[in-house]
């Protein structure tokens, strides 16, 4: 049995656009996903020594990929995921 949980708000947005879930359920999922990610980031920050924080947890494109290319790749992979 699959739980039906969504990986991230982009998946939830796709499900909303495709009318697979109600608007209320979609909003509840998105709020929960954002709160969960904020709580996870806060926990990571609290457990990481200050000398190691820097850009910890940030997803950044490599120097060989432009920002436009990174956005395009992210959109395509998100589309495939949904």
Confidence band, pLDDT 50/70/90 cuts, at residue 3:
low
Tell me the domain boundaries of the chain: 9-51+63-81
Q: What is the pLDDT of residue 1?
A: 43
* pLDDT (tens digit per residue) in 7-65: 888 889 989 999 999 999 999 999 999 999 999 989 988 988 888 777 777 777 888 99
DSSP 48-71: S-GGG-TTTT-----TTS-HHHHH
Tokens 């709580």 found at:
39
């Amino acid at each position: 049995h699959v739980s039906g949980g969504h990986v991230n708000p982009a998946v939830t947005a796709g499900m909303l656009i495709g009318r697979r879930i109600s608007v209320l359920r979609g909003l509840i999922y998105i709020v929960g996903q954002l709160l969960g990610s904020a709580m996870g980031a806060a926990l990571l920050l609290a457990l990481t020594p200050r000398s190691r924080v820097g850009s910890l947890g940030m997803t950044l494109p490599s120097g060989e990929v432009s920002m436009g290319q990174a956005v395009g790749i992210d959109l395509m992979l998100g589309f495939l995921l949904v």
